Amino acid sequence: MKKIEAVIKPFKLDEVKEALNEIGIQGMTISEVKGYGRQKGHKEIYRGAEYIVDFVPKLKIEIVLEAAMADLVVETIRKAANTGKLGDGKIFILPVEEAIRVRTGETGKDAI
Amino acid sequence: MKPINQGRDHTMLNSEPAGLLLPVEHLKQKRVLLIEQFLEKKLPNFMIAHSNILDAYFSESFARYEPLQEMTRKNPLVLVAQGGYGRQEQCIHSDVDILLLFKKKVPPEAEAFIQSLLYPLWDLGLEVGHAVRSLKECISIGKIDFQVLTSLLDARFICGEALLFDDLVEEIRKQVLNRQTDRLIAWQVENNRNRHAQFGDSSYRLEPNLKEGRGGLRDYHVMLWIAKIISNPAEGRKGLEDAGYLSRDEFHMLSNALAFIFVVRNRLHHLAGRKCDQLYFKHQIRLANELNFDEKKGQKPVERFLGKLHGQMEFIKQLNRTFLYEIGYARGLSKKRPEPEPDCAPGIVLRKGRLDFSSEREAALGPGLLMKIFEESARLQVPLSSHARRTLCKLLDLMDEPFIASRSAMEAFEGILSAQTQGFSVLNEMLTTGFLQKFIPEFDGIVHRIQYDTYHLYPVDKHSLRTVQTLKNFRWLPETDPFYHKIIKDLSNPTLLYWAALLHDIGKGEAEGNHSAVGEHLVRNFFSRRGYSPEDVETVSFLVAEHLLLAKTATRRDTNDEETSIVCARRIKTADRLKMLYLLTVADSMSTGPKAWNEWTGTLLRDLFLKTLGIMEKGEFASSEAIARVEQKKARVVAAWPASEKEVPGKLIEIMSPRYLLYSSAEDICDHIRLFQTLGNEEVVWKIAPINGSGTRTVTVCAKDRPGLFSKIAGIFTLHNFDILEAQVYTWRNNIALDIFKVKAPLDTLFEHEKWIQAEKSLKAALSGQLDLSSALQRKLRESRHIKPPAGIRPDLVVVDNGSSNFFTIVEVFTHDFTGLLYGVTHALFQCGLDVWVAKISTMVDQVVDVFYVRDFDGQKIEDPAQVQKIKSAVLEVLTVEKPEAFHASEKDQAF
């Protein structure tokens, strides 16, 4: 099993979600996150006062899936989230040891 | 929790003759039957019946326990029902709260009796709370433990020694209630406040707590207890009316509200299978169906069910608030007493810190005083007395059409709407008395309107009022958020914003259609009928219609794209409206619930707001003239293509930047499209056109964009002795660069065509890397000697401006003209890692002002001060080094 963690631009969520639905990914966890990488924050000015955005708002998608699906999912996210500009985000692939469904106690493939 | 099924002794009961039912079996059968009848809606007085069968169980058990007589001969015993059981509010899984009271010290044999009494109940799954005390103990605990005392307030005789029960009641009154009345009331009030803080406002909650929350049953109990502490009204709730705490109407409304909430609570207990007072989501739909709510006006049964529940709880909440306030005031417990009491408008008086009408008869003369009392309430920040509220409710029909549409009424209302408030909402008073709905009939549709989801925390009416209040907090509490405070203070007419906040969701009252559009329509009618200026009507209906625009755009569009802000700016049109729309969006989200508002969303919204405002304030792209001009151009460009091919310009227009569309003529755009069509797989194509009768040429270069493209083209011109007079750079969003140069024709025009062909060849060579442009230029510049005007007239100046545009860093270069200047500067910018997005090059006599809109290769502005300094030095070095007097090949090499 693998866990895919993708950090994307907020306005790309719908596209990514749809693209993932199309390849049969039903479940995911979304969180609102902030951070910076090469896309640094910036400052805004309203009537002389500065407002600094040091962390840029992003969305994080987390999906746990069978290892065989990982490449397809990564590619799908990459395509859908791409604007060709800085700050499009990153995708991480992590190994997952075990998954357990709380309600039934099912494990492994059946639990994801 | 007590152990169940362990160590008990049923032998006594089990030895009874067969054929006679044991009390507990009796109870069990009757309970099943009662619950069944209740669920079938055949038993209106379920709770009384339920406590009656418990009473019967205890009486029978008393009668059957033989050692009891001996035990109580010298030490009488009475069984007392307390708490909810005492009040006969025995819900399906409510605790059974009892007190076993002995006249004297509790005898050791009592233990076995209590076990025989309680264990069977535990086996039935009932939760029993019991206390065993002597009369003396009871009184002394009651004196110090007010929780215990409160349960005693609901004491009810079940069986045993009735005289002892009377002693208890009498002693409690004499020794505790009469001696510590004020302390007890203060404790109840304090408890009430803490409970509200802990459980929140049930009349707003998605999953209200029927008992503990604000507007819940406890709110009623507190009133009852306080009334009992003061005067011991005879029969529970009815006593509240008899003792003058409630009017007849209020008593009836309270009875209805309680009846409804108790039905819900009992059904909830049944569904949950346990004592459960929190109306969880998962039970709501089922309960709505069980209670036969149906779909109406586009509202789901569950939404109508919750709407009714919220309405009932709201009523109890109001009653509790008024009751406590007046009790507190009457008994001098209120800490804040406005002194001296200020004067009120004629016909209104301030009594005990509450506003009232001087006389009901005067109030009934016309609707004027009804509005007036709210005006005074807003002005003095004082609520209405319960008497005033009652009077007002009766007189609402005085508010006829001419009154509500009158200018004076509207002005009075606007005064209230925008009045400074401190934690007390006059609008809420208006809503809960029904005045608001009468004054704005359109509001009626959203009163107690629930949206069944976890996003909209509040009913629509409450949400609307909260939105207004949030805006007022921006205005009057600068320290909570200085940013919003600053913006709201800049508004030309904040009242329009308050109106929009009050009415923004009014479209949700209609069954059909998009609520923004429906709302816009309702609002437009409302204000037009009341004689508002067309501009004001337009502003409020615009705000209502577009109240979701910014939130949607901020989360669904790329706010770093200038286009996004331009589209918003064009739709919103003026900075004043943008500020109002922004504040409305923020207040709306904040007042919806935590899922709609957090710092994350806040950052996205603020970003969009400031960028859009930046676009507007420059007016360049968003003025109405600019919009009209661009639209005309688009139409003309499309018209220039034959019907079958309109798709070509149509598609390209969509990817042209607003800046390009604004500054290029329709003819030029057509030419550029045609030029683009010839590009195909080439890196670059250009077109040279003479400008009539002058020695200048326009060179339009269409190329696949890449960093450094502009400086390379400029370099090629210099290399081939074409003097650059002006240059403009545009980038389409399909990554096509259009660079337009005005250059001087060569002095000798004989072989001009050949010269251009040469130049084109070297441009392609430079782009493909076959020509080392930089070295070629160095050689050339070394050969040529510049004739420069004396230095020092105006010093060279490089300004890096990050304030004027939210999307670009602007580099301005002021210097004297010389050959190779443009190449030198743009190449330096390229070397600094910058991409030129827009360039305006102009030469006035010998003073050059070059403006470059740049971003780094990642598309970001350059805000790091060190980086800004590096850009300045690099450009300045080009200017200095290029001058003949400072010319040194070695230094120049560094510059390139």
Number of domains in chain B: 5
- Confidence band for A26, pLDDT divided at 50, 70 and 90: confident
Mutating which of B487, B560, B617 best tests the A interface, going by the most A Cβ atoms within 10 A?
B560
Among chain A residues, the shortest Cα distance to B613 is held by A46
State the CATH architecture for A2-111: 2-Layer Sandwich (3.30)
Indicate the pLDDT class of residue B113, thresholds 50, 70 and 90.
very high
Q: Does A54 touch chain B (CB under 8 A)?
A: no
Backbone angles phi, psi at A90, to 5 degrees: -140, 160
Find the closest chain B residue to A57 by CA distance. Answer: B600
Encode B68-102 in three state secondary structure: HHHHCCCCCEEEEECHHHHCCCCCCCCCEEEEEEE
Asked if the structure places residue B636 within a domain, the reply is no
Is residue A31 predicted with pLDDT exceeding 80?
Answer: yes
User: Chain B residues with CB inside 8 Å of A39's CB?
Assistant: 858, 860
A55-68 pLDDT tens trace:
889 999 999 999 99
B66 contacts B13 by C-beta, under 8 angstroms: no
Q: Report which residue type is found at B492.
A: S
Q: Are B521 and B601 contained in the same domain? A: yes
Judge whether residue B788 has pLDDT over 90.
no
- Whether A52 has its CB under 8 Å from any CB of chain B: the answer is no
Q: By the CB < 8 Å criterion, does A46 face chain B?
A: yes
CB B748 within 8 A of CB B729: no
Top pLDDT among B681 and B203 is at: B681
Among the three residues B330, B348, B368, which one is the final residue of a domain in this structure?
A: B330
Pair type for strands A49-53 and B847-856: unpaired
Q: Is B863 on the interface with A (CB under 8 A)?
A: yes
| Domain-located, residue B869 | yes
User: Residue B682, Cβ neighbours under 10 Å: how many?
Assistant: 11
Write the DSSP assignment of B768-815 as a string of letters: HTSS-HHHHHHHHHHHS----PPTTSS--EEEEESSS-SS-EEEEEEE
Confidence of residue B2 (pLDDT cuts 50, 70, 90): very low
3-state class (DSSP) for residue B379: helix
Work out the minimum CA distance from B560 to partner chain A, whole angstroms. Answer: 10
Residue B643 lies inside a defined structural domain of this protein: no
Residue B656 within a domain: no
Residue B231: count of CB within 10 angstroms of its CB: 15
Model pLDDT, residue A22: 92
CB spacing of B603 vs A47 below 8 angstroms: no
Determine the residue among B483, B555, B598, B601 to mutate to test chain A binding: the one whose Cβ has the most chain A Cβ atoms within 10 Å.
Answer: B555
Which among B600, B610, B858 has the least Cβ separation from residue A32?
B600
Residue B60 forms part of a structural domain: yes
Q: For an interface test with B, which of A46, A47, A56, A82 has the most B Cβ atoms less than 10 Å from its Cβ?
A: A46
Which chain B residues are closer than 8 Å to A40 by Cβ? 860, 863
Side chain identity at B17, as an amino acid letter? P
pLDDT of amino acid B435: 95
Shortest Cα–Cα distance, A44 to chain B (Å): 7
How many Å lie between the alpha carbon of B657 and the closest alpha carbon of chain A?
A: 17
Residues of B within 8 A of A10 (CB-CB) are: 555-556, 604
3-state DSSP: chain A helix, strand, coil percent, rounded to 5? 30, 40, 35
Evaluate whether B135 touches B153 at the Cβ level (below 8 Å): no
The reply to whether B261 and B350 lie within a common domain is: no
What is the number of other CB atoms lying within 10 angstroms of the CB of residue B770?
10
Q: How far apart are CA B322 and CA B200, in angstroms?
A: 18
**DSSP string covering B433-463:** HTHHHHHSGGGGGGTT----SSS--S-HHHH
Q: DSSP assignment, residue B745? A: P
In B705-756, beta strands by DSSP E? 724-731, 736-744
Tell whether the model's pLDDT for residue B894 goes beyond 50. Answer: no
Residue A58 pairs in a beta bridge with A33
Top-confidence range, B17-26, B270-279, B334-343:
B270-279
* In chain B, % of residues over pLDDT 70: 91
Longest dimension (CA), chain A: 59
Q: What is the pLDDT of residue B14?
A: 43
CATH number at residue B116: 3.30.460.10
B510 part of a folded domain: yes
Residues of chain A found within 8 Å of residue B859, distances taken between Cβ atoms: 85-86
CATH number, domain with residue B409: 1.10.110
In the predicted structure, residue A80 carries a pLDDT above the cut 90:
yes
Say if the ipTM goes beyond 0.90.
no
8 Å CB contact of A51 and B483: yes
Q: How many residues make up chain B in this entry? A: 896
What's the CA gap between A42 and A45, in Å, rounded? 10
Higher-confidence residue: B685 or B598?
Answer: B685
- B150 with B85, same domain: the answer is yes
Residue B840 pLDDT grade (very low, low, confident, very high; cuts 50, 70, 90): confident
Which of these three, B158, B179, B200, is where a domain ends? Answer: B179
Does A57 contact B at CB distance below 8 Å?
Answer: yes
| Residue B710 one-letter amino acid | F
| DSSP structure class, residue B109 | T
What band does B893 get if pLDDT is binned at 50, 70 and 90?
very low
Q: How confident is the model over B268-279, as a mean pLDDT?
A: 91
**Does the reported pTM lie above 0.80?**
no
For B505-562, the pLDDT digits (tens) are 999 888 777 899 999 999 999 999 888 999 999 999 999 999 999 998 988 888 877 8
- Is there a contact between B281 and B181 (Cβ–Cβ < 8 Å)? no
Q: Give A5's pLDDT tier (boundaries 50, 70, 90).
A: very high
Same-domain check for residues B374 and B453: no
Residues B168 and B313 in one domain: no
Q: Are residues B599 and B722 in the same domain?
A: no
Backbone torsions φ then ψ of B216, nearest 5 degrees: -85, -175
Confirm or reject contact between B560 and chain A (CB < 8 A): yes
| Lowest mean pLDDT across A88-92, B146-150, B242-246, B645-649 | B242-246
pLDDT digits (tens, 9 = 90+) for B129-187: 999 999 999 999 999 999 999 999 999 999 999 999 999 999 999 998 888 888 898 89
Q: Is B604 an interface residue toward A (CB < 8 Å)?
A: yes
User: Which of B482, B557, B603 faces A57 most closely, judged by CB atoms?
Assistant: B603
Residues of B in contact with A55 (CB under 8 A): 603
Nearest to B656 by CA among B740, B569, B560, B735: B735
Average pLDDT over residues A4-15: 93
> pLDDT at position B18, please?
43
B40 touches chain A (CB under 8 A): no
Contact, B55 vs B81, CB < 8 A?
yes
The C-alpha angle B553, B556, B562, rounded to 5 degrees, equals 60
- B472 and B392 assigned to the same domain: no
pLDDT recorded at residue B423: 65
Distance in angstroms (rounded) separating the CA atoms of residues B34 and B42: 9
Minimal Cα–Cα distance from B584 to chain A, Å?
Answer: 18
Same structural domain for residues B419 and B456?
A: no
Please give the pLDDT value at position B457: 79
Contacts of B409 (CB under 8 A, 6+ apart): B367, B371, B403, B439
List the one residue out of B491, B505, B518, B604 whose CA is nearest residue B555.
B604
pLDDT band at B887 (very low <50, low <70, confident <90, very high): very low
Tell me which residue range forms the domain holding B391.
Answer: 340-439
Nearest to B606 among A51, A83, A85 (CB): A51
Q: Which residue of A has its CA nearest to B863?
A: A42
Claim to verify: residue B702 and residue B754 sit in the same structural domain: yes
Judge whether B26 and B57 are in contact, CB under 8 Å: yes
- Cβ of B803 under 8 Å from any chain A Cβ? yes
pLDDT value for B1? 42
In a domain, B662, yes or no: no
CA–CA separation, B214 vs B655, rounded Å? Answer: 56
A33, A39, A53 member nearest B607 (Cβ) = A53
**Same domain assignment for residues B512 and B544:** yes
List beta partners, residue B854. B809, B836
Domain containing B218 — which CATH number? Answer: 1.20.120.330
Does residue B191 share a domain with residue B76? no
Taking the Cβ of residue A37 and every Cβ of chain B, the question of whether any pair is shorter than 8 Å is answered with: no
Q: Is residue B747 part of a domain?
A: yes
> Using CA atoms, how far apart are residues B852 and B728, in angstroms rounded to an integer?
10
Mean pLDDT of chain B: 85
- Predicted local confidence at residue B20, as pLDDT: 67
Tell me the Cα Rg of chain A.
17
Chain A residues touching B860 at Cβ < 8 A: 39-40, 42, 86
For testing contact with chain B, the best of A44, A50, A82 (most B CBs within 10 A): A44
Q: Say yes or no to pLDDT of B254 above 60.
A: yes
Mean pLDDT score, B844-863: 81
pLDDT digits (tens, 9 = 90+) for B115-125: 999 999 998 88
Q: Which of residues 480-499 of B touch A (CB under 8 A)?
A: 482-483, 486-487, 490
- Give the domain ranges of chain A: 2-111
Q: Go through B518-533 and write b for each residue having 16 or more CB atoms within 10 A of its CB, e for each that does not.
A: bbbbbbbebbeeeebe
The verdict on a CB contact (< 8 Å) between B861 and A42 is: yes
* Max intra-chain CA distance, chain B: 139
Nearest to A34 among B483, B600, B863 (CB): B600
**Does residue B472 sit in the same domain as residue B422?**
no
